[in-house]
Structure 1
Amino acid sequence: MGREKKKGTSGNVKAFISREKALKKLQLSLQEFRRLCILKGIYPRDPRKKFEGSDKTYYLRKDIDFLAHERLIGTIRQQNSHRKKVVKARSKRRIDILKRLALSAPKTRLDHLVLERYPNFVDAIRELDDPLCIVALFANLPADHNVGIAPERVSRCQCLLREFHNYVAHTNSLRRVFVSIKGYYFQADIMGESVTWITPHRFSQILPADVDYSVMLTFLELYECIMSFVNFRLYTSQNLAYPPKILRPADAKALELSSLVVEKTAKSDVDRRQGQGDGDKDEPNQLPAETVKIAEKLAMEAKNEEDDDDYEFDDEAPGNDPDMADGDESSSQAGRSGVFNGKSVVLGREVPYAELEFCLRAAGAEKVSREDDLTDTENRLSGYTHWIIDRPKVSGNRDMSLEYVQPQYVFDSINAGLLLPPSLYTPGAPLPPHLSPFVSEEDDGGYRPWFKDIIERIKAGDTSVVEEAAAVVYTEEAAKYDKTGDRKKKRTSEENNRRNEAVKDSQEVHNSSAANTKEVVDKDLEMEIENSSHDTAEETVAKELDNRIDDGSAQGADKKDEEPEDDEDEEGEEEKISKSNSERMDKEGRDMATLMLSRKKMRQYQKHKRMEDHKLATRDKLTQKRKRLEAARAEREANKAKRKRQ
């Protein structure tokens, strides 16, 4: 016989551990354990045999052993100890101790987690989609301390996103743009990898109450650190100073990319920091010293890897000089020409400025200005080539040297890779379809939009296709209006048919009732003739004629009375239809006005609505109570009267 195995030394019991035992082993709370698992990338597992019950959550034992050696656990314990000291000093009202504790608060460092997750810089670029989407989301959310979103967090996300957009615009790396109801989809080509992210529309956001913001904020904490490393590495690879300087007057006007000053350096950012020493301590938005040190180490390792790969490819190639590697990459990417290369654009006050400025600068536009920033001189539009406008028509005098186009012109031109004819995007004109560059014919079941063929013909140099495309667009718009008119005519004819059927039904009911009345009258006449023996035949005939005359006059009166009732029914139906349409339009208008409210106005509106609902509910309760009291009083009086009669 073999040696008997001890219980718990092999199988699922050895490979897995329940969450309750993991918390006890690590001596952490559930919230701290969840945060640590998110930061380290550890997820629950589903063993085939759940040895402690199916209602438990299981983890790999080796993952928990890996977490036991994490330095963040020590930081968490230091923070818990520091929090207890703060509570104790606050209860004793020791202001001096509180000030000292505020300066010595332990901070969480996530730099080592970035190095663990991404040994190579290309790996970080390849998985940059999620960090960019989360950072862009929180950059457009309002600060709310109730859910843990601090204003400093929102400002930090806005800064990181703006720095990344500035790099994409500087290197002309933007490849695809698509505008949907969710926001703006962007795709850039960075170091040979496609990075796709979405930026939400800049509307007043309402934070839903059924979202766990603590989980999202934990992910954001990690993604902020990743974005800091990525931005630092991208800027240093182009020999650009990081972080870029911010022009305070332009930043106060919310000029986005125009407020950033990109400075080129003759040597790498690492050498620049070593040469300046402690001179960068007062620079705004400066990264911590430990983060900079690790990022510089990562940058040097990535640079050495690139140099080694170049030498393995061709040792005698003139472009493989390790001292010129970053410079060649910078010149090659910065030298790309976009579709708006050399163009100067004016953005109207009604268009989305931040997204259009980013797209235009990434497409090579030389100058992008807002309508409000133009001077009032006569030559204020000299040098400009395009004016992006989203109004039905151009207000004021139209400058014939400018091309007035709608915002879709910018996005479609970037996706097409060339400047499309501006005549298709004139203000107030129906626009061609905005095609998604992320959907191919194979994904869409072999369907090929007609405007895609138009773009291919424009690329081939066919100038006659512009009039054809405009004719197709106008035809589609006319078809839409015709369909709307047909629907209205169909609805009107259906209503008329229903009314005619109702009139016919009422006439049939009236005729059947008249016939029944006539039969009853005839029977009564026969009974009277049989019973009255003293009446002569002439008197009987006269009575019958008189009765029939009376019946005819009564039927005529009934018809006259029913005809206006039918008219009244038709008028009532029309009034109901018009009333329902007006109520629906009023409701849509109220909903649209509610969406356009600011956050403060929205809170006031919701408070007012709750008060009105409370008033209506109270009034209904009082009305029902009064009805019950009146019914009880009437019942008592009836019982009293009944007793008196008895």
Structure 2
Amino acid sequence: MGGLEKRKYERGSATNYITRNRARKKLQLSLADFRRLCILKGIYPHEPRHKKKVNKGSTAPRTFYLLKDIKFLLHEPIVNKFREYKIFVRKLRKAYGKSEWGTAERLKDNKPSYKLDHISRLVSDALRDLDDALSMCFLFSTFPRTGKCHVQTIQLCRRLAVEFLNYVVASRSLRKVFLSIKGIYYQAEVLGQPVTWITPYAFAHDHPTDVDYRVMATFTEFYTTLLGFVNFRLYHSLNLHYPPKVRRESVPALGGFPLRACLLRLLGLLLQKLSALSASLVRVVAPAQEDEVEMDEFPVEGVRACRWTARRKEQEALEKHKKLFEGLRFFLNREVPREPLAFIIRCFGGQVSWDKSMCIGATYDVSDPSITHQIVDRPRVEQQVVGRYYLQPQWVFDSVNAKLCLPVADYFPGVLLPPHLSPFVTEQEGDYIPPEKLKLLAMQRGEDPGEESEEDEEEEEEEEDDNDNEEEEEEEESEKEEEMKLKKMEEQKTQSNKVRCLAAGRELQERAAFVSALPARAQLAAACPSQVPALGLLWPSCSCSSPWVLSPC
């Protein structure tokens, strides 16, 4: 019996992927709606490992999605809303073409809409995506009112961003802040989870032409829903009204205007009051004043005792950090950024105000004698009040990151500011730590960096003196060694000269003795010529070294 024929591209990786065009036809959506749906649901294209097999032998460039993701989108209720909206647009265009104005108004009143609440149902899931949501909403809230973005989207992003800032102020959950070239980075602890976002500076800017604002608007549509859901849960966790409410006496009464205009005016004033970050939010039920309950402490031993002590110290340090500016009153000059400074000061228990012409919500004037710190950004202040510190804005940010009020002498107007260190950098063992960071760490430990610097200078001077002494000793030793070498060389020279002198004297003595003995030897040689060899006279064959010595041979 013959087996079944195996055909190509009917099993394996070829059946796990689907092209974008086939996915669009399967969902019956246009390309723009398909992109919006993928962004809202978090569906991304995939690059298959064996692209030629998936593409059925073709090498043409195509975009592939997982087939199970597309099947998952088939049951999405937003797809039906997209189809209903397409039908609505076709009917509205037909009504305008036939000049049926009543039908057009009726269709506008029944315009289909959809909600995105079902996409993120859990707060824990929403908090994981809160970083991007906050960054996008803060970015859109600074956009100018042009044709690039809808005005309603910009206003919604601004309202949600201000509501989140008020929650951070009420809960005092801000932990870190950093000024960078891109913007201001913040980090807050929301329900035990760190959330980091960036806000742009309040500068005028033009829309870049190489950015697809439709994609950004789709992301913002999802992020606004996500942030609204998170704000609702966070406000209720603190027993606060949502939407937030301020005190009634802070909102003026309006009369003589239509109802719609009055409501819009009141909503605008409420948003301005919330954006001032100086008003206290209204709680659902006023908390009853109860006696502070002290927790019982049980004796713990071993490793648990160390852990308990460490946690208790961390909690005490955190509570102290939350009350960093408590009891201090700040005044912001016109040239400093009001919103970030007011937000940071209020997060740590300080009171802040500004000139009434800048923004509503000012609580006291510049002439108030109870002001302790005035934030300025000018090289010189003409009129100064005794008993008040005039500081540059960086002092507020550096104090928050250092978790203590830094010395004010380094932040006076016109003074060269110290480097602004990033609190998001954690040095490990063996890494380089700048001296400014070492100084801050010493201040956090309760040590005086001035005394430490003096001690370090003294130690450095002592080390330099020791090094100088060692160098002098080494030089002296080297000089002594050279002198000893010279002495040895001189002694060797003198000894060689003595040997030469002795040899020369001996040679002279031998020469004199030989000369004096010549006449006698000549007579003996003449008398007895046969005895000349026996007498040991000089012969050419004699092996003696000196010609003046009688040879023993």
CA distance in 2, matches of 1:406, 1:15: 61
> Does residue 427 of the first structure (1) align with residue 428 of the second (2)?
no
Q: Give the one of 78, 94, 98 matched to 1:92.
A: 98
CA distance in 2, matches of 1:253, 1:73: 38
Q: 1:17 maps to which residue?
A: 18
Q: 1:382 maps to which residue?
A: 369
Is the 2:354–2:362 Cα contact (8 Å) retained in structure 1? no
CA displacement 1:12-56 (0-9 Å, x = unmatched):
232111111111111111111111111111111122133243411
CA distance in 2, matches of 1:42, 1:80: 22
Q: What's the offset of the Cα at 1:243?
A: 1.1
Is the 2:277–2:346 Cα contact (8 Å) retained in structure 1? no
Alignment of 1:328-407 (within 5 A): 337-370=322-355, 372=357, 380-396=367-383, 398-407=384-393
Is the 2:133–2:227 Cα contact (8 Å) retained in structure 1? yes
One-letter identity of the residue aligned with 2:285:
A
Alignment of 1:145-224 (within 5 A): 145=147, 147=148, 149-224=149-224
Q: What's the offset of the Cα at 1:73?
A: 0.8
CA distance in 2, matches of 1:464, 1:219: 49
Q: What's the offset of the Cα at 1:82?
A: 0.8
Label 1:259 to 1:359 Cα distance change in 2 as closer, same or farther (>3 A). Answer: closer
User: Aligned pair count?
Assistant: 399
Give the TM-score normalised by the residue count of structure 2: 0.67
Q: What's the offset of the Cα at 1:424?
A: 1.2
One-letter identity of the residue aligned with 2:275:
E
Q: 1:32 maps to which residue?
A: 33
Is the 1:348–1:389 Cα contact (8 Å) retained in structure 2? yes
Is the 1:391–1:428 Cα contact (8 Å) retained in structure 2? yes
Is the 2:342–2:352 Cα contact (8 Å) retained in structure 1? no
Label 1:370 to 1:451 Cα distance change in 2 as closer, same or farther (>3 A). Answer: farther
Label 1:24 to 1:372 Cα distance change in 2 as closer, same or farther (>3 A). Answer: closer
Q: Give the one of 126, 143, 146 matched to 2:145.
A: 143
Q: 1:593 maps to which residue?
A: none
One-letter identity of the residue aligned with 1:38:
I
CA distance in 2, matches of 1:38, 1:376: 45
Describe the SS at the equivalent of 2:185: strand
State which structure, 1 or 2, has the greater radius of gyration over its C-alpha atoms: 2
Is the 2:15–2:54 Cα contact (8 Å) retained in structure 1? no
Alignment of 1:192-591 (within 5 A): 192-245=192-245, 247=251, 256-258=275-277, 261-266=280-285, 337-370=322-355, 372=357, 380-396=367-383, 398-442=384-428, 446-463=431-448, 465=450
Q: 1:122 maps to which residue?
A: 124
One-letter identity of the residue aligned with 2:21:
E
One-letter identity of the residue aligned with 1:256:
S
One-letter identity of the residue aligned with 1:449:
P
One-letter identity of the residue aligned with 2:344:
C
Q: What's the offset of the Cα at 1:462?
A: 4.1
| Unmatched segments (≥5 aa) in structure 1 | 269-332, 473-646
Label 1:88 to 1:466 Cα distance change in 2 as closer, same or farther (>3 A). Answer: farther
Describe the SS at the equivalent of 2:220: helix
Label 1:64 to 1:460 Cα distance change in 2 as closer, same or farther (>3 A). Answer: closer
One-letter identity of the residue aligned with 1:99:
E
Q: What's the offset of the Cα at 1:389?
A: 0.5
Is the 1:186–1:197 Cα contact (8 Å) retained in structure 2? yes
CA distance in 2, matches of 1:6, 1:241: 65
Q: What's the offset of the Cα at 1:157?
A: 0.5
CA distance in 1, matches of 2:243, 2:92: 35
One-letter identity of the residue aligned with 1:36:
L
Q: 1:69 maps to which residue?
A: 75
CA distance in 2, matches of 1:252, 1:165: 12
One-letter identity of the residue aligned with 1:62:
K
Q: What's the offset of the Cα at 1:80?
A: 0.7
Describe the SS at the equivalent of 1:28: coil
Q: 1:102 maps to which residue?
A: 108
Is the 1:347–1:353 Cα contact (8 Å) retained in structure 2? yes
One-letter identity of the residue aligned with 1:123:
D
CA distance in 2, matches of 1:375, 1:23: 56
Label 1:85 to 1:260 Cα distance change in 2 as closer, same or farther (>3 A). Answer: farther
Q: 2:133 maps to which residue?
A: 131
Describe the SS at the equivalent of 1:188: strand
Label 1:392 to 1:250 Cα distance change in 2 as closer, same or farther (>3 A). Answer: farther
> Does residue 56 of the first structure (1) align with residue 62 of the second (2)?
yes
Give the TM-score normalised by the residue count of structure 1: 0.58
Label 1:101 to 1:410 Cα distance change in 2 as closer, same or farther (>3 A). Answer: same
One-letter identity of the residue aligned with 1:263:
V
CA distance in 2, matches of 1:95, 1:101: 10
CA distance in 2, matches of 1:74, 1:174: 42
One-letter identity of the residue aligned with 2:133:
P
Cα RMSD, aligned residues only = 3.0
One-letter identity of the residue aligned with 1:153:
T
Describe the SS at the equivalent of 2:138: helix
> How many percent identity over aligned positions?
41
CA distance in 1, matches of 2:178, 2:420: 8
| Unmatched segments (≥5 aa) in structure 2 | 252-265, 288-317, 458-553
Label 1:253 to 1:61 Cα distance change in 2 as closer, same or farther (>3 A). Answer: closer
Label 1:135 to 1:436 Cα distance change in 2 as closer, same or farther (>3 A). Answer: same
CA distance in 1, matches of 2:12, 2:323: 60
CA displacement 1:145-173 (0-9 Å, x = unmatched):
2x3x0111111111111111111111111
Q: What's the offset of the Cα at 1:2?
A: 3.9
Is the 1:43–1:59 Cα contact (8 Å) retained in structure 2? yes
CA distance in 2, matches of 1:238, 1:8: 58
CA distance in 1, matches of 2:362, 2:450: 39
One-letter identity of the residue aligned with 1:441:
E
CA displacement 1:216-260 (0-9 Å, x = unmatched):
111111111100010001111111111112655866867724365
Is the 1:244–1:261 Cα contact (8 Å) retained in structure 2? no
Describe the SS at the equivalent of 2:277: helix
Label 1:375 to 1:26 Cα distance change in 2 as closer, same or farther (>3 A). Answer: closer
CA displacement 1:334-383 (0-9 Å, x = unmatched):
99733111211101100011111111111221344347579999993132
CA distance in 1, matches of 2:242, 2:4: 65
Q: 2:519 maps to which residue?
A: none
Is the 1:126–1:194 Cα contact (8 Å) retained in structure 2? no
Describe the SS at the equivalent of 1:224: helix
CA distance in 2, matches of 1:462, 1:364: 26
Q: 2:512 maps to which residue?
A: none
Label 1:377 to 1:62 Cα distance change in 2 as closer, same or farther (>3 A). Answer: closer
Describe the SS at the equivalent of 1:225: helix
Describe the SS at the equivalent of 2:106: helix
Label 1:81 to 1:335 Cα distance change in 2 as closer, same or farther (>3 A). Answer: farther
CA distance in 2, matches of 1:366, 1:399: 19
Is the 1:136–1:157 Cα contact (8 Å) retained in structure 2? yes
